[in-house]
Structure 1
Amino acid sequence: MGSNLPVIAITVGEPAGIGPEISLLAAWELRAQVRPILIGDAAYLAMLAHDLDKNIRLMGISQQALRHNGLPGCGKDQITVIDCPLAAHVQAGQLDPRNGRAVLTTLDVAIEAIQRGWCDAMVTAPLQKSTINDAGVAFTGHTEYLAQQTNTPQVVMMLACEASKHLPQPLRVALATTHLPLREVPDAIKFDDLLRTLQIIHNDLQEKFGIAKPKIFVTGLNPHAGENGYLGREEIEVINPAIQHARSFGMDVHGSFPADTLFQQKYLKDADCVLAMYHDQGLSVLKHASFGLGVNITLGLPLIRTSVDHGTALDLAKLGTGLADASSMKVAIRIAAEMVARQNASRNQAANHN
């Protein structure tokens, strides 16, 4: 395997769900394009690999050996697994809180691997928040945990999908608020936060997506974007002023637009990203358009992180191996690799100018 391949840490997620299966399948299929490093229980992954495809070859390494010697070399038809042992036997489809802390450890190991320069980016398979909370650890989600562990004051959730026969160009939708009850959304939309969100989107589209002058469209919060205050004043008092302020900084930001009409090709063809005000306003559209090929990307972190756009699918896992679709995981890995290449090119260009 060529040494110039991007090294991608892949956390396999909730062991009772489809995460380990789709991680194995995607890593094995893409091993000529990236060097995948699986992070999970090595023994369980070896057993699962044998059931999925007897050609899959894994090489386990302990966390202690990794920290002492760094990432070992690996043959082109072998995948390295950083071992994060589970506390309890896995029964597909059945959650077990005893394994919650081990799932969380995979995230810590991936962060460390990037910070130490062993890996270039991380891709996360879905996990079950309740299992980690039931294990006694307060946990609200990947995005929030990664921000906390990297001391990042604000991050932005963005989902994206590649161009396809259904979509003539990539679609990217970022969120001003994420996992909040709907009644709390208006109070959570604040001028300073919205301005920082736009800055994060602008910067990451430049550095990690290679878009020199990103164009960002912003939805309103209310129907018809408030209709000049008759259907709500958040647009007048918060959203539109933040947009104008962002434009004064040189960002190409437009809006606010009514969300029910913005998501049409005649408008989207001019946008590099749409910033929606809340979760279902933007993601319902993207998940319908992406046909299971969407990718979750966390913007604003000091590292590259992508993920699938679906959950643990416990019911599917319970039916047995070989049924899960790894398409979203494969796209997540490819997009992470592309982001690594663009970020490296951007940094090299900046270094050459200094």
Structure 2
Amino acid sequence: MPTDHPPLPIALTMGEPAGIGPELIAMAATRRNDAPFFAYADPALLSARAKRIGLDCPIVETDEAGAAEVFPRGLPVVPLTNRAPDQPGRPDVAGAAAVIESIERAVLAVRNGQARAVVTAPIMKDVLYRAGFNHPGHTEFLGELARRHWQDEARAVMMIWSDTVAVVPVTIHIPLADVPGALTEDLIYETGRIVARDLEARFGIKAPRLAVAGLNPHAGENGALGSEDGAVISPAVNRLRAAGIDVRGPLPADTMFHARARAGYDAALCMYHDQALAPAKALAFDEAVNVTLGLPFVRTSPDHGTAFDLAGTGKANPSSFFASLSLADRMAR
């Protein structure tokens, strides 16, 4: 007779050792009502951090094949080659190798059929830069890993998702002064196409509706406040519409995020990082999830940083991390 097999687990990354990532993983392990998961981490770090914040969190060292089996008994941890010190609030470049290894191995586990999604804990990019990390951020690094392991040339797209609002920055980790030059019709079109496709394929939204923000105040005021809205954004919106996507824009960004406006779209495309993330964090800071679209694998992450001031205190709010796990489970199904 056929037997039921447990679902593949979700792979968690350790995140910045000096931040709240390790304790968020321990908190998730004590909740025990999520799909099975395991962490790529330094077991000694997770054990020390759990004890530091008063959590009874048994650490079970395992390999990928045994993770789902040991999940009911504790937190399955696949040990890293690189070590990471438990020094909350005091980032050290010595831990950077472990952070990068954790991300690389989690993605490879999905590629090898050992995990079905990746949930990443927050990283501190400045620490990684000092260790020679040459990617602007998490999203861009994941795109590189997709190219490496899947030979997939699809572009990684950041979406901040919550039940309240979903936003996508078309340009991400670049200086604000560089945004007008980086925005192109093709970039906006490709971003919108990926978002519409993955909202349908990963989120089950039929005929997703997109709202596209203008770059300038009042979406350029017919050219009086800047030419980019008419010369670059409008043609991209027209191409998306011609491709069969339900899209509106460019719209004034300052009126896109009140409740009545949000009811008219499933995701908002914004032209730069803070235009997207500021309203998302204002409306849903504790529940928002960072989702990377356009990849051949599912990746989610809490929409907050390393919170060095809270690390090791047990006061970190795990809501966004829990939401990241739940969304990864949903998307991977």
Whichever residue aligns with residue 325 of structure 2, its letter is I
| 1:175 and 2:169 matched | yes
Whichever residue aligns with residue 129 of structure 2, its letter is N
Residue 303 of structure 1 corresponds to: 297
Give a deviation string over 1:54-97, Cα, whole Å, max 9, x none: 53222112xxx54xx67562252322111114445332211111
Residue 21 of structure 1 corresponds to: 23
**Partners in 1 of 2:29 and 2:85 — Cα distance?**
24
Residue 10 of structure 2 corresponds to: 8
| 1:333 and 2:329 matched | no
Residue 150 of structure 2 corresponds to: none
The 8 Å contact of residues 70 and 118 in structure 1, kept in 2 or not, is answered as no
SS at match of 2:11: strand
**Partners in 2 of 1:103 and 1:88 — Cα distance?**
8
Match of 1:132 among 128, 133, 137: 128
Residue 118 of structure 1 corresponds to: 114
**Partners in 1 of 2:84 and 2:305 — Cα distance?**
22
**Partners in 1 of 2:328 and 2:309 — Cα distance?**
28
The 8 Å contact of residues 36 and 80 in structure 1, kept in 2 or not, is answered as yes
**Partners in 1 of 2:295 and 2:68 — Cα distance?**
27
Give a deviation string over 1:184-207, Cα, whole Å, max 9, x none: 101111011111101100110001
SS at match of 2:310: helix
- Tell me the TM-score normalised to structure 2 length: 0.92
SS at match of 1:76: helix
| 1:321 and 2:317 matched | no
Residue 351 of structure 1 corresponds to: none
Residue 138 of structure 2 corresponds to: 142
**Partners in 2 of 1:241 and 1:177 — Cα distance?**
17
SS at match of 2:127: helix
**Partners in 2 of 1:193 and 1:137 — Cα distance?**
25
**Partners in 1 of 2:236 and 2:17 — Cα distance?**
43
Give a deviation string over 1:303-333, Cα, whole Å, max 9, x none: 111111111111222xx33121111100111
The 8 Å contact of residues 40 and 85 in structure 1, kept in 2 or not, is answered as no
The 8 Å contact of residues 57 and 78 in structure 1, kept in 2 or not, is answered as yes
Q: 1:315 to 1:54 in 2, by over 3 A?
A: closer
Give the superposition deviation at 1:129. Answer: 1.1
Superposed CA RMSD? 1.8
The 8 Å contact of residues 17 and 84 in structure 2, kept in 1 or not, is answered as no
**Partners in 2 of 1:132 and 1:282 — Cα distance?**
25
The 8 Å contact of residues 42 and 84 in structure 2, kept in 1 or not, is answered as no
**Partners in 1 of 2:53 and 2:123 — Cα distance?**
21
Q: What stretches of structure 1 of length at least 5 have no aligned partner?
A: 163-169, 342-354
Whichever residue aligns with residue 271 of structure 1, its letter is Y
| 1:278 and 2:252 matched | no
> Which contiguous aligned blocks of 4+ residues in structure 1 show a shift greater than 6 angstroms?
none
- Tell me the TM-score normalised to structure 1 length: 0.87
Whichever residue aligns with residue 293 of structure 1, its letter is E
Whichever residue aligns with residue 259 of structure 2, its letter is Q
**Partners in 2 of 1:146 and 1:269 — Cα distance?**
31
**Partners in 2 of 1:220 and 1:257 — Cα distance?**
5
Give a deviation string over 1:21-45, Cα, whole Å, max 9, x none: 011102331x333101111101221
Aligned residues: 325
The 8 Å contact of residues 37 and 67 in structure 2, kept in 1 or not, is answered as no
| 1:154 and 2:155 matched | yes
Whichever residue aligns with residue 17 of structure 2, its letter is P
Q: What stretches of structure 2 of length at least 5 have no aligned partner?
A: 148-152
**Partners in 2 of 1:315 and 1:217 — Cα distance?**
36
SS at match of 2:10: strand
Q: 1:33 to 1:87 in 2, by over 3 A?
A: closer
Residue 33 of structure 1 corresponds to: 34
Q: 1:147 to 1:249 in 2, by over 3 A?
A: same
